[in-house]
Amino acid sequence: MNFIFLGPPGAGKGTLAKEVAASYGIPHISTGDIFRENIKNGTELGKKAKAIIDAGGLVSDEITIGLVKDRLSKDDTKKGYILDGFPRTIPQAEALEGFAKIDAAVNFDIEDNAVVERLGGRVCCKDCGQMFHTKFNPPKVAGKCDKCGGELYTRDDDKTESIKHRLEVYRESTAPLIDFYKNKGNLVDVDAKPAPEKVLAEFKTKFPKN
């Protein structure tokens, strides 16, 4: 099956995509990975994307769509795939319809306050980069890394104000896709609040393997 994964930052899309890809034997395709691969390989689209990224700009819909279209033409997508991070906007979704058949847009549903709790408690070691969570995976000693003893800190993008801003951006630009696919009749909601293994179990119930 061909899936699109939708949901706000902190919904666990990336984690679930990796699990589903391994379980169903289909590739997990993220736009970030596509950009990196094309830039590394020096393709024409990769060169264009690199120039824009290096200048601090946002890669245009036209280039992003071109990169996704090229990726979906590869042999490993014949049994299906997961699109993660694309489409992000209605114009991208409309363009995708021109070269791909999407079986289900899976919306990983989670309230904003749960996202703030999930992301806002993350702390990172300044020395080794190990991640902890003050509520769900706390260090043995507050403020100190279990692995190397380094000092733990909250990254800027994990601060509450930053998380709320990211959610606002998501609601404005990407959330309209939920209505887009609902109107197409292929939107499926999955509760993203429980632990990843429970979310995966619900996904498998809704999409049994052939």
Cβ atoms of residues 109 and 187 within 8 Å: no
Cβ neighbors of 5 (< 8 A, separation 6 or more) are 13, 16, 17, 82, 83, 84, 106, 108
For residue 189, give both structure tokens.
């909601």
Cβ atoms of residues 181 and 96 within 8 Å: no
Phi, psi of 124 (to 5 degrees): -130, 145
Closest Cα partner for 105 from 201, 207, 6?
6
Among 13, 48, 50, 118, the active-site one is 13
Among 36, 69, 88, 144, the active-site one is 88
Among 74, 155, 198, 206, the active-site one is 155
Q: Judge whether 122 counts as a catalytic residue.
A: yes
Q: Judge whether 36 counts as a catalytic residue.
A: no
Q: Judge whether 118 counts as a catalytic residue.
A: no
Which ranges of the chain does DSSP label H, i.e. alpha helix?
Answer: 13-24, 31-41, 44-54, 61-72, 90-96, 112-120, 160-173, 176-184, 196-206
Measure the CA–CA gap between 180 and 4, rounded to whole angstroms: 12
Q: Judge whether 155 counts as a catalytic residue.
A: yes
Among 36, 69, 166, 182, the active-site one is 166
Q: Judge whether 71 counts as a catalytic residue.
A: no
Closest Cα partner for 206 from 7, 11, 72, 20?
20
Residues forming the active site: 13, 88, 122, 155, 166
